[in-house]
Amino acid sequence: MDFVDTYEPIRTLKPVADNIWIVDGPIEYMQQYGIDVPFPTRMTIIRLSNGDLFVHSPVQGSDKLYRQIEKLGRVAHLVSPNKIHYASIYPWSQRFPDALCWASPGVRQRAKSRNITVRFDRDLRDGAEDEWLGEIDQLYFRGGRFMDEVVFFHKSSKTVILADLIENFEKDKVRWWIVRVLKLTGVLAPDGMIPVDLRMTFIGRHKIACQCFDKMMAWNADKIILSHGRWFDQDGSRELKHAFRWLKC
């Protein structure tokens, strides 16, 4: 039995604001400390002004979900935000073969080392791509020795979109015996942040991470969407500051 519940209903569109939606996905497993740990998953969809759809960290899809999304517009961009968020891009690219698949730093090598089939067409840069310039901002969040993450900001809804830089598991969605573990690793809501194992990779490199954090704070976010756990639908800047308190910027 998994120690965490999904955010039902899964594989269905849930509006966040005009032209931005989330889709909660099924449980995925990631190996940590030698064991397979279950995570709830979440993707974000943004409709650009030309009608194209930007899909951030796609979850496991279904025909029903694909049909819902096709009604929104043309799936044009499938985006990997970091090197551990990419596995569902390939099946999505088969359903939407004309979409551009965007690679995050290190993801090509990660997929190759694990013999996972994936297609990437372009590499994300530190700054908005021409395809969504003026609508979505982005930055490389650097400083960790294990991985960088590309962070996105939907300007019109003032929403920051993250993958693993904040994890925020809710107490009432996990088994009682795991609550203490989540608290010790720093990922229990309402105080969730980056997990302690990833946090340790920033030791001695806080200066560059703080520079990235300052850029995020300058966005003056209202909302923060996370891939794992409860996301924040208000007080975005305050929640960012709280979640990144470990940096001591």
What are the tens digits of pLDDT across the range 70-95? Answer: 999 999 999 999 999 999 999 999 99
CATH number where 161 lies: 3.60.15.10
pLDDT recorded at residue 37? 67
Give, in degrees to the nearest 5, the angle at Cα 61 between 93 and 74.
50
Residue 5 within any structural domain of the chain: no
Residue 140 within any structural domain of the chain: yes
Residue 249 within any structural domain of the chain: no
Q: Which domain holds residue 26?
A: 13-243
pLDDT recorded at residue 4? 73
Is pTM, for the whole model, over 0.85? yes
Strands (E), 80-184: 100-103, 122-123, 136-141, 149-154, 159-161
Order of strands across the sheet that contains 136-141: 136-141, 149-154, 159-161, 223-225
Amino acid at 158: K
For the segment 5-58, what is each residue's pLDDT rounded down to a tens digit? 888 999 999 999 999 999 999 878 765 555 566 789 999 999 999 999 999 999
* Burial class of residue 124 (count of CB atoms within 10 Å of its CB; 0-12, 13-18, 19+): buried
